Chains A and B, each alone.
Chain A
Amino acid sequence: MAESYPTLTQCALVAAAFKVLLFPAYKSTDFEVHRNWLAITNSLPLSQWYYENTSEWTLDYPPFFAYFEWLLAHLARLVDPAMVRIINLNYDSWETVYFQRFSVIITELLLVYALQMFIDSSSLPTRRAAQAAALSVILSPGLLIIDHIHFQYNGAMYGILVASLVLARCKSTLLQSGLLFGALLCFKHIYSYLGPAYFVFLLRTYCLSSKSIFRIKFLNCVKLGLGLGGIFAAAFGPFALMGQIPQVLSRLFPFSRGLCHAYWAPNVWALYSLADRVLIYFAPKLGLPLNAEALNSVTRGLVGDTAFAVLPEISPRTCLVLTLLSQALPLIKLFRRPTWENFIGAVTLCGYSSFLFSWHVHEKAILLVIIPFSLIALTDRRHLSAFRPLIVAGYVSLFPLLFTPAEFPIKTIYTVFWLVLFLIAFDRLAPASNKPRVFLLDRFSTLYIAISIPLIAYTSLFHQIIFGKRLEFLPLMFTSSYAAIGVVGSWVGYMVVYYTS
């Protein structure tokens, strides 16, 4: 069969031209965060990386990412030496912008490569669908908004993740897959949310015999153990030798943050907060006690610490238990039938659980669900109908990240473009399922997608016309509640699909 068009490279090239044009666009504090890390890694010895605190944006990623910044800083110094000085807080010369933005585009090639691996690893009948899925990832509005406007290096990180997921497809490359994932954890520890799926999958397929779970493949265990040990030693070893591990860990896992992030990420806690707010009005009638302190905080939902007026407070421990419980369910099935499709499904569901139930989730973490899901969304129409509300909700929920008027058309038109294009394409490419679909779910997802249009119009335009500067939390609350319903709905929908297929 002839290659299908457009190819991944072609799309990546044109998208790169667009991203270059976005150089002068709004950039969040993450831009300064990464510049500061360039400065720290370039001008200080290793022993001080995790202690330096001139800037409030201290180094809080694992060591591999720090090494990556250290490498980049060698080039950065040639481009503009002032960029790598620690005291140059909020330095953003044109050279700095060009360099940092360009480094994001270049490192994203990793994702292009990984997605090409994904396409090549698909069987011929599904290759067109795989290509469409790969294109949808490389053109994802999430990556555009987060990486190329807001500023982060997710493209490269997800490149490593996708490569690792694809390597898990073939028996002979299971070890590489596991090691690559280990390395990814040393780049960015948010991926540890996906760890349970990896653990179960590698345990079942690599460390235990496929015939009986009581026969342990010792050689494989040793290989995997030594490999992972080596990787973690390479990352954390230098700091362990200097006795800095507690300091590093305290930077990586700051437990002082609140349940909900500045905006409400569209998860269960957003719905919980919404319920709390609604209950404020009904509490007197129902005779529920009100927490006066929470009631008085005017900026509720907008600052980090959310206190609840009516409903009971949530502790980090509750979150952790809920997350692990909800992750455990799909893992049982994965353990019993460790196919690649189930593995990706389990990774997706682990992503869902962490996003829906974790403590202090950022809306950016939705990519943790969307990108693994993209790889299997076109398996059949049942998968697709669970995927559709997720992409609409996930990408719409990213809109509040960009609030400047100049970027408004970019985020909305690009997302609408992406949704129209890929909803049409997916609809054409997803094969019919051999199991009956849940009729209700389908109607729900169509209705849900339709609601997004007036919602975007209201939050971006009409709210300002009607209320001006007042009630600024309202559009945010609508967006996150709307998106939360979509994410939760698609989670439930996908759970059903996962267990019944």
Chain B
Amino acid sequence: MSSSSPAPHKPRRKPKKSDNDIDKPVRVRSEALVRTPSFPLAAFLWPARTSLSQWEVLPLVLMVVGLFRWAAGLWGYSGFQRPPLFGDYEAQRHWMEITAHLPISQWYFHDLEWWGLDYPPLTAYHSWALGKIGSLINPEWFALVSSRGSHDPTLKIFMRATVIISEFLIFVPATTVFVRRFSRLNGVNTWTSNLALVAILMQPATILIDHVHFQYNTVMLGFVVASMSSMLAERYMWAAVFFVAALGFKQMALYYAFSVFSYLLGRCITTGINPSRLFGIALVTIISFGVLVLPLALGVLYDKHRGIDAMPELKGSAAPLPIFSFITNYIDTQHFYYPIVEQLVQMVHRVFPFSRGLFEDKVANFWCALNTVIKLRNFPVELLQKAALGMTLLSIIPPNIILFLRPRKSALPLAFAATAWGFFLFSWQVHEKSVLLPLMPMTLLLAGKQGMSGEVRAWVGFANLLGAWTLFPLLHRVDLRVPYTALTLLWAYLLGLPPTSWSAPFQEGQSALVQWGTALLQSTFYVTMAAWHVLEASVIPPPGKPDLWVVANVGVGAAGFSICYLWCFWRLLRETDFLPSGGKVKAKTQ
């Protein structure tokens, strides 16, 4: 474990002269030679400590995480045999159906009541490719209309395979590269970074949502990780391209947009004004967006040329724009480019549903928790929208200002996590699955300095276990208790976290007071979570309050996530030296 060992390989190219002056020099702490693994995951990679090369460990790790994903996928998915609308699985399948069969101009208009397409274009293209491939194997899987609600078991295998392949093409390589770069930046040795990689790839919430409940979040998350990874490598234009791809796949990536913006801007201004870089980034971003919508625009023009309307049921007459209807005052609806405008406006309208409620279902964020105390329904929507906007800005502006002022590489995941937590807790229209967004950058911290040591592991583990726990009501609805239990407990066990081990907060570093405080605080939550599971399984809620357990879950979740937000923010302040960091204090006293 000693970090003084020589680097395992030489970099292929000479390191660029980087504007690293802002990045703190790595303080290499002489860690005592560890003789026994302090948590089971370390035990599993123990034999790889001395001799095995990276290229022997990585394939084995990837095979294991792939196996767990596939095995988890054997379970049911959201909406399995639940007519009339089924669930996310049907939504994704339906998008493959419509994109594979309809002209591109109708994608965002087709039968919106039945899971109309409401994700940005990259998802549409992705669905199109998968739909075409799937139709080659079995045309019935994606037959227009007649395939709705299909529960063909081989279709399920195809769909599961597409999630895994998409993830292994995007998220897995991006994470692997990020972990390498981030751990090298922080002076973490390869073996420890492998631990972090396994821990990140085995995150229970991600596997449960993507591979069990069914969605393609890891594609979007993978693009974001790739973007962060490019930032570490100081390839800012690539960072912009990847981030546009993330946004283009799932609008939820906007949770990170502020941090991306602040970091890139900071790197262009605070680390020495660099207008050409700023201009380059701006240009590349615009071009990327252009490329993103280009197939859609060209397709629309081509469809117009062929006489295909976006909405055939209107028989040629132009429908009023759903939003931004003022545009028609400036543009003639007969212009050749009007269909493109119409298409883009429709896409934006579909992607950003401003008309929906403050929160969907029961989600562990501030508003839903507040709703249990004060009935928010009684307030005017405009007020609530303003309140949500104000609170969100209040929570995200401080971390982003910090990131802008001191855009340090080592602070990247912290700032991303803090911003995403802010969005998750306070913004409009949050879904419980959105918890994956703050969890992702927070979990990446495991690859950082002292990432696998007690404190960071305890907090990252706490956030992940709490996150998985708040997803339980969602999973419970489709009888996914068993994979939830297996995957969550497995991860907790591997990382030496409650309920399998309570020692994580007590390892090295901080003062005894902080250690006990952390342990006590987290234990309270863990005990509550366990007790909640017992109650939920054994006690039927009183007739007047059928949602009692879900509401309790939401309340506890929101409280815990707020603490996670504060922890990330506090760590960010320390990492950027706005607050004295604990390590320094300790170093002085030694």
Contact = CB atoms under 8 A, between A and B. Distances in A.
- A, B bound: yes
Interface of A: 2-7, 10-11, 13-14, 17-18, 20-25, 98, 405-406, 409-410, 413-414, 416-417, 420-421, 424-425, 428
Contact of A413 (B36, B56, B63, B486): B63
Contact of B482 (A3, A6, A20, A410): A20
B75 A17 contact: no
A22 B74 contact: yes
B68 interface: yes
Nearest to B212: A21
A304 to B, nearest CB: 29
Interface in B50-106: 51-52, 56, 59-60, 63-64, 66-68, 70-72, 74-76
Nearest to A7: B43
B70 A6 contact: no
* Interface-central residue, B46, B47, B60, by most chain A CB under 10 Å: B47
A418 B71 CA distance: 16
Contact of B74 (A4, A25, A416, A424): A25
B44 A6 contact: yes
Given A21-B74, A420-B60, A2 B40 contact: no
Nearest to A417: B63
B476 to A, nearest CB: 15
Given A98-B482, A406-B156, A417-B60, 14 more contacts: A5-B44, A5-B46, A7-B43, A14-B40, A17-B486, A17-B490, A20-B485, A21-B74, A22-B71, A24-B74, A24-B76, A413-B70, A416-B63, A417-B64
Contacts of A22: 71, 74
Interface size class of B (residues with CB under 8 A): 35 or more
A3 B68 CA distance: 28
Contacts of B63: 413, 416-417, 420
Contact of A406 (B46, B157, B482): B157
The DSSP consensus for interface residues of chain A is helix
A126 B56 CA distance: 24
15 contacts: A4-B46, A6-B47, A14-B494, A17-B486, A17-B487, A17-B490, A20-B485, A20-B486, A21-B75, A98-B482, A405-B157, A409-B67, A413-B66, A413-B70, A424-B56
Given A2-B36, A405-B154, A420-B59, A18 B68 contact: yes
B580 interface: no
Contacts of A7: 43
Given A6-B46, A21-B486, A406 B60 contact: no
A17 B44 CA distance: 15
Given A21-B68, A417-B67, A424-B56, A10 B43 contact: yes
B68 A23 contact: no
Contact of A21 (B36, B51, B76, B487): B487
A14 B490 contact: yes
Contact of B153 (A10, A17, A406, A409): A406
Contact of A24 (B51, B60, B75, B157): B75
Contacts of A428: 51
A4 B35 CA distance: 10
Contacts of B153: 406
Contact of B493 (A13, A420, A421): A13
A424 B51 CA distance: 11
B67 A23 contact: no
B312 interface: no
Interface string B464-482: 0000000000000000001
B413 interface: no
Contact of B52 (A2, A5, A424): A424
B489 interface: yes
B483 interface: yes
B322 interface: no
A18 B44 contact: no
A11 B66 CA distance: 18
A451 B38 CA distance: 41
A417 B35 CA distance: 27
